Amino acid sequence: MPADADMTRRRRSPSLPCAVRVQAAGFALGHRRDGSVRRLVFSLLDIHVRAKRRAGVRSVDVTIDASRGLWARVFSPPPTKGEAAQALPVVVFFHGGGFVLFSAASCYYDRLCRRICRELRAVVVSVNYRLAGPARRFPAAYDDGLAALRYLDANGLAEAAGVAAVDLSSCFLAGDSAGGNMVHHVAQRWAAASAASPSSSTTLRLAGAVLIQPFFGGEERTEEELELDKAALTLSLARTDYYWREFLPEGATRDHPAAHVCGGGEHDVEVAEAFPAAMVAIGGFDLLKGWQARYVEALRGKGKAVRVVEYPGAIHGFCLFPELADSGEFVEEMKLFVQEHRTKRVQ
C-alpha cells in the first residue's frame, strides 16, 4: 500500500475548521447513542428561515399539494444584462436528513440552494417533502418528489419564480444524502413513466441527476462503513440504521430496494432507458462511500454516463458548510455539469 494511502487510512478524523467541528458536534448531540433523534435538542439546532431576498437571490414558497402539506421554496437569481429573454435551467432539489430531519426552510438548505441558484444562474426548486413517520414511510417521500415534477410540468414556474422564463427541457434533479437517494428513485420513476407513455405531451425533461453523497445501504456492512463509523461527527452506523428503520416499511430490512439499489442479482440497479446522465459526489470520510462507488459502477454497467467528483478529505454533508473549500469546488463542478448537459439539449 502506498505511504500516502496508508496515512489516510490511519488518520482517524478529518481536518475541519473549528466552526464546522462545533456544528457537527451539535448535530451529534441531537442523536442518542442508538441513533435515534433527540427531537428537542435537534429543534434548537435546526434553525428555519423565511423565504425572502438575500444576497440578490429572491425566494418564495409555493404550494404544490395542500392536502398533504407539500410545498417548495423557489429561488431565482438576480437578472443580468442580456439574460432577460433567456430561459433559465431548473434544479429540483431534495434535502438530506435521513428522510426524518430538516426541511426546505432549514438554514443549511436555504443557504445551499441560494448558493446554487446564484452560481449556476438557475431557478432552484427545493421540495419540502413529507418526512418519515408512522403514516409516512416509504414511498411517501418518493411520491412527493414525483408530484413536484408533475406540478412543474403542468404549471411551469415563471410567475412564481419571478423570472421571464424557465427551461423545463433543462430540468436537473439534485439532492444530498437521503435527497441523493430520492434523486435516483424519482428520476427512475419519471423516466419509466415517460417510457410507458411516449406519446404524452410533457414539457419537463430530465437533463441530468446530481447525487451528492447519496444515502444507500444494505444488510451487509461494507469495509468503509466499519472503518469510518467513528471518523466524523455527522454520521454513524447507528444513525443510518435508525433512519432506515423510520423510513422503510414495517418489518423491512436494509436490503429493501429503496436502500439497496445495487449489488447484482435481486439488487441489480433498476434504470430506465430515459434515465439521465448523472453526477455523483463522494467524500473520503463518508462511511457511505462504498455504497456510492457500487452505485456508480452499476450505472456504468447499464451504459449510463456518470461523472464522479471525489473529495478525499470531505465528511458526510460537506456541501452544507461554506467554510469548507470542497463545498465551493463542488458547486463549480455542478455548474460545469449543468452547462454541459443543458448545452446538449439546447443544440
The one catalytic residue in 144, 286, 326, 327 is 286
The one catalytic residue in 177, 194, 236, 327 is 177
Q: CA 62 to CA 290: how far, in whole Å?
A: 37
Catalytic residue check, 36: no
- H or E element at residue 18: helix 18-29
Catalytic residue check, 286: yes
Q: Of 346, 309, 347, 301, nearest to 331 (Cα)?
A: 309
Q: Of 332, 346, 347, 331, nearest to 93 (Cα)?
A: 331
DSSP symbol at 66: G
Which residues lie below 8 Å from residue 129, measured CB to CB, with a gap of 6+? 70, 94, 140, 141, 144, 145, 148, 182
- The count of residues in the chain is 347
The one catalytic residue in 95, 256, 316, 341 is 316
Is-contact 210 179, C-beta < 8 A?
no
Q: CA 231 to CA 226: how far, in whole Å?
A: 10
Q: CA 254 to CA 111: how far, in whole Å?
A: 32
Q: CA 340 to CA 300: how far, in whole Å?
A: 19
Catalytic residue check, 326: no
Q: CA 266 to CA 260: how far, in whole Å?
A: 10
Is-contact 288 346, C-beta < 8 A?
no
Catalytic residues: 177, 286, 316
